[in-house]
């Protein structure tokens, strides 16, 4: 099993548009995507999120439909949305934008065409949150994240919050080290004072 680290925003790799996948030549990439998805779980994952710029996604129908009788995962190679119906706002989270959920307007139903691992052409309508999940993962193949689908003003506010939170995390991680340095400095000064007193005697 090969687990690949998920790329997080603002990693520039997430902006790269992926190329069509070759089922025979890119079998290792397919296996890495499936292996990583088994580790992280969730509703879906795309190859670009783990640094592989090929058009492959995997979704979890059982998680989406809350039905354990469905297959645990659906691998979709070179998926294409060929028809759409209606619009709906979905609350979406993303592995590449941890601890952030955004309301995104998408098509409420989509007709998707893709190939499975055996090269067979499949076609299916997805609705409700299944539709949002498939659209979300296909967006990744085109270098688009949820944060790219909101207004510029809202995006700027969220970026400020993320940067502030990251700064707080960095400061928090440095505190123990800073405290150790301070204590070490105090001990050194104390030793120096003792030495000076001893020399005066």
Catalytic residues: 137
Report the alpha-carbon distance of residue 35 to residue 21 in Å, rounded: 17
Which residues pair with residue 81 across a beta bridge?
A: 112
* Cα-Cα end-to-end distance for the chain: 70
Site of tokens 């979890």: 60
DSSP 8-state class, residue 15: G
CB 76 within 8 A of CB 56: yes
One DSSP character per residue, 51-91 reads: T--BSEEEE-HHHHHT-TTS-S-EEEEEEEEEEEE--EEEE
CB 109 within 8 A of CB 86: yes
Tokens of 140: 């990744």
């Amino acid at each position: 099993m090969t687990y690949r680290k998920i790329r997080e925003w603002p990693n520039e790799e997430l902006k790269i548009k992926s190329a069509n996948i070759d089922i025979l030549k890119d079998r290792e990439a397919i296996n890495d995507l499936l292996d990583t998805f088994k580790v992280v779980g969730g509703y879906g994952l795309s190859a670009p999120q783990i640094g592989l710029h090929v058009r492959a996604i995997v979704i979890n129908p059982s998680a989406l439909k809350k039905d354990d009788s469905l297959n645990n995962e659906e691998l979709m190679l070179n998926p294409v949305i060929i028809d759409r119906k209606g619009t709906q706002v979905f609350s979406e989270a993303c592995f590449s934008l941890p601890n952030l959920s955004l309301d995104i307007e998408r098509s409420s139903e989509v007709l998707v065409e893709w190939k499975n691992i055996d090269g067979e052409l499949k076609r299916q309508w997805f609705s409700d949150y299944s539709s949002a999940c498939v659209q979300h993962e296909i967006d990744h193949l085109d270098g688009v994240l949820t944060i790219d689908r909101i207004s510029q003003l809202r995006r700027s506010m969220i970026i400020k919050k993320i940067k502030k939170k990251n700064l707080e995390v960095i400061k928090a991680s440095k505190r123990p080290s800073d405290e150790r340095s301070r204590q070490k400095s105090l001990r050194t000064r104390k030793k120096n004072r003792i030495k000076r007193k001893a020399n005066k005697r």
